[in-house]
Amino acid sequence: MQELGFFTILFSAVFTNNILLTNYLGMCSFLAVSREVKASLGLGTAVFFVTAATTALNWAVYYHILVPLNLVYLRFIVFIVVIAAFVQLVEMIIERVSEALYQALGIFLPLITVNCAILGACLFMVIRDYSFGQACAYGAGAGLGWALAILAMAGIRQRLAQRSRIPRGLEGPGIALIIAGTMALAFMGFNGMVSLN
Amino acid sequence: MMELLIAVGVMCAINTVLALLLVIADATIANYGECGVTVNDKKKLMVPGGRSLLSVLRDNQIFIPSACGGRGSCGLCKVTVLEGAGATLPTETPWLTPEEQKGNVRLSCQVKVKRDLRIQIPEELFSVRQYRTRVVSMSDLTHDIKEVKLQLVDPPAIDFKAGQFIQIEVPPYALTDEPVYRAYSIASAPSETGEIELEIRYVPNGICTTYVHRHLKVGDAVTINGPYGTFCLQPTGREMICIAGGSGMAPIKSLLLEMERARDPRPCRYFFGARARRDLFVTERMRDLEQSLPNFRFIPALSAPAPEDRWEGETGLITEVVGRHVADASEAEAYLCGSPLMIDACIRVLREKGMPESNIFFDKFG
């Protein structure tokens, strides 16, 4: 497992082991904010950024604080606290530095504190015994994969809303779940190329 | 035992470090220093940056009307920001027409002061002031509406037009950590400048209504600011149709008292909607007005009278009652006050009866 290269991990986190479509993590915001491409691009970017950064951050916290002190059972709560604080910090910085970026990401940042995909990425990195470099690659890949999935979903849903007559009983979450399932099936096609497990 | 202590210690340490980091960030990154706010190109205020425009203006004794107290849910606190505010936020767009957005109109509670601003506000808002008052009486009008009389202490008198509203400042208490502001219409006549009456309906868990109904006592000090609003009597002499529900009584009562003082002979019908007899109030006063105003009629209507009410007056939804009484409204004008739902329904009925939209005036509770 240790010999997996950074690029392999990145690639497989995006495609073969997409955190959303194979692990079904981060579904709530995936379903709620995938109506329009514009909004999902904003959320996707925010998730990518936060996942990549907090995976690295939590790697350091885990291996330099929790493991030496024998406190690995605290990882869930510690990871969440670190993510929440980081999101706050990022929000302040973005608001100060770039008005345009704040407009695009600002309202999504508080939302993703509780996005389980981000916590999931941190936990997978622990389960799979990644080195720091691998953890960074995995975090970036997981975030990128999530962003890709929500963008694809938004594209499909936007198109459906314009062109198609959806049976009334399937409108909204119904059709969204079916699309998600079909997308997951399609992503299964990548399976066997590289495996993380 | 040792393990437990280490766990608690580490948890505390991590939380402290993160909290400290955020405090430092708040003091450095989110510190915008002093910013200048130029109002109407004649007054320059120096204010601490990072706060909402609404609150810094209030600190400088400029009171922008706001019914929700800065949560972005009433859309009243509009000001024109000429420079320094950036693009319109998604939280503002529902309240602004495309023309307003083009004209740089913003909701002042959503605009954060981060650099020097140049803003434009209506001239009359400079006359809005803060008043210290004292509660002189409180009485139950119905099971959930209280009448609160406030005596003006400093300044000792308020100059307002019938139909206008003021804002009450609710000090921090169990339900709120910071002062909040809520709007209430004045129910008394403008000729009484030393004392005003408010009619406040209890809303479960409402910050201001809970404060008034459960905590406020006779003799307490209350800070208010105002007056605000353009819901006033139009000097057209047209026939008037007033419609109100619940505590929407307040501004209409003020209008009627003003008419009584002026011995206004305009024809006027006042439809008041309530559920049952226990929701009716100041009916006696309205009957007096029918005597003193030559062409005034008060028509209370109950939508769900209780059997013990032995109600013989109008029944049904207020819109149905108005529909039955008003044949042709094309020459009349309407004054509405109540919940947004009631007002929208009434506007539909009045439009069907031929009333032009420009003759309908209303005061919606945000």
Do the Cβ atoms of B270 and B282 come closer than 8 Å?
no
The per-residue pLDDT for B198 is 95
The per-residue pLDDT for B365 is 64
Best interface-test mutation with A: which of B3, B10, B112 has the largest number of A CBs within 10 A?
A: B10
pLDDT digits (tens, 9 = 90+) for B203-247: 998 899 999 999 999 999 999 998 988 898 999 989 999 999 988
- CA B165 from chain centre, in angstroms, equals 6
Instruction: Report residue B19 as tokens.
Output: 């909290």
Contact flag B25-A92 (C-beta cutoff 8 Å): yes
The per-residue pLDDT for B335 is 95
Closest CA–CA distance from residue B174 to any residue of chain A (Å): 26
Is residue A33's pLDDT more than 90?
Answer: no
| Residue numbers in A near B35 (CB within 8 A) | none
Stretch B284-296: mean pLDDT, rounded? 92
Contact flag B14-A78 (C-beta cutoff 8 Å): yes
Instruction: Report residue A1 as tokens.
Output: 């497992």
- What order of strands is seen across the sheet that includes strand B165-170? B180-185, B165-170, B221-228, B129-140, B145-154, B195-201
- % of chain B residues with pLDDT over 70: 99
Residues from A in contact with B at Cβ < 8 Å: 61, 65-66, 69-71, 74, 77-78, 81-82, 85, 88-89, 92-93, 95-96, 99, 103, 107
Contact flag A78-B87 (C-beta cutoff 8 Å): no
Is residue A1's pLDDT more than 50?
Answer: no
pLDDT digits (tens, 9 = 90+) for A49-68: 899 999 999 999 999 999 99
Is residue B138's pLDDT more than 90?
Answer: yes
The per-residue pLDDT for B360 is 93
Contact flag A81-B6 (C-beta cutoff 8 Å): no
| Residue numbers in B near A69 (CB within 8 A) | 6, 10
Report the residue of chain A nearest B25, measured CA to CA.
A89
| Residue numbers in B near A77 (CB within 8 A) | 11
Question: How high does pLDDT run on average in chain B?
Answer: 90
Stretch B110-135: mean pLDDT, rounded? 88
Is residue A19's pLDDT more than 70?
Answer: yes
CB contacts < 8 A (A, B)? 46
Query: Where residue A196 falls among pLDDT bands split at 50, 70, 90?
Result: low
- % of chain A residues with pLDDT over 70: 94
Closest CA–CA distance from residue A182 to any residue of chain B (Å): 33
* Cα–Cα distance for residue pair B284/B255, rounded to 1 Å: 17
The per-residue pLDDT for A107 is 66
Contact flag B22-A88 (C-beta cutoff 8 Å): yes
The per-residue pLDDT for B196 is 95
Of the candidates B6, B15, B86, the beta carbon closest to that of A69 is on: B6
Q: CB neighbours of B9 closer than 8 A, spacing ≥ 6?
A: none
Do the Cβ atoms of A130 and A8 come closer than 8 Å?
no
Domains of chain B, start order: 34-125 (3.10.20.30), 128-228 (2.40.30.10), 239-364 (3.40.50.80)
Closest CA–CA distance from residue B62 to any residue of chain A (Å): 27
The least confident of A156-170, B5-19, B62-76 is B62-76
pTM: 0.60
| Residue numbers in B near A103 (CB within 8 A) | 86-87, 89
Do the Cβ atoms of A31 and A173 come closer than 8 Å?
yes
Report the residue of chain B nearest A102, measured CA to CA.
B89
| Residue numbers in B near A70 (CB within 8 A) | 3, 6
Closest CA–CA distance from residue B82 to any residue of chain A (Å): 17
Is residue A194's pLDDT more than 80?
Answer: no
Query: Where residue B254 falls among pLDDT bands split at 50, 70, 90?
Result: very high
* Cα–Cα distance for residue pair A166/A177, rounded to 1 Å: 13
pLDDT digits (tens, 9 = 90+) for B16-54: 999 999 999 888 887 888 889 999 888 888 998 888 899
Helix (H) or strand (E) holding B152: strand B145-154
pLDDT digits (tens, 9 = 90+) for A90-108: 888 888 877 777 776 666 7
Report the residue of chain A nearest B85, measured CA to CA.
A99
Contact flag A82-B3 (C-beta cutoff 8 Å): no
Report the residue of chain A nearest B114, measured CA to CA.
A96
pLDDT digits (tens, 9 = 90+) for A151-165: 999 999 998 888 888
pLDDT digits (tens, 9 = 90+) for B336-356: 998 888 999 999 999 999 999
Is residue B366's pLDDT more than 70?
Answer: no
Cα→Cα distances B75→A104, B105, B107, B311, B332, Å: 23, 11, 7, 39, 29
CB atoms within 10 A of CB B285: 12
Stretch B97-113: mean pLDDT, rounded? 90
Stretch B124-145: mean pLDDT, rounded? 90
Going by C-alpha positions, the residue among A138, A137, A98, A118 that lies closest to residue A44 is A118
pLDDT digits (tens, 9 = 90+) for B180-213: 888 899 999 999 999 999 999 999 988 999 999 9
| Residue numbers in A near B87 (CB within 8 A) | 99, 103
Question: Which residue has 């006050």 as its token pair?
Answer: B337
Contact flag B22-A77 (C-beta cutoff 8 Å): no
Query: Where residue B259 falls among pLDDT bands split at 50, 70, 90?
Result: very high
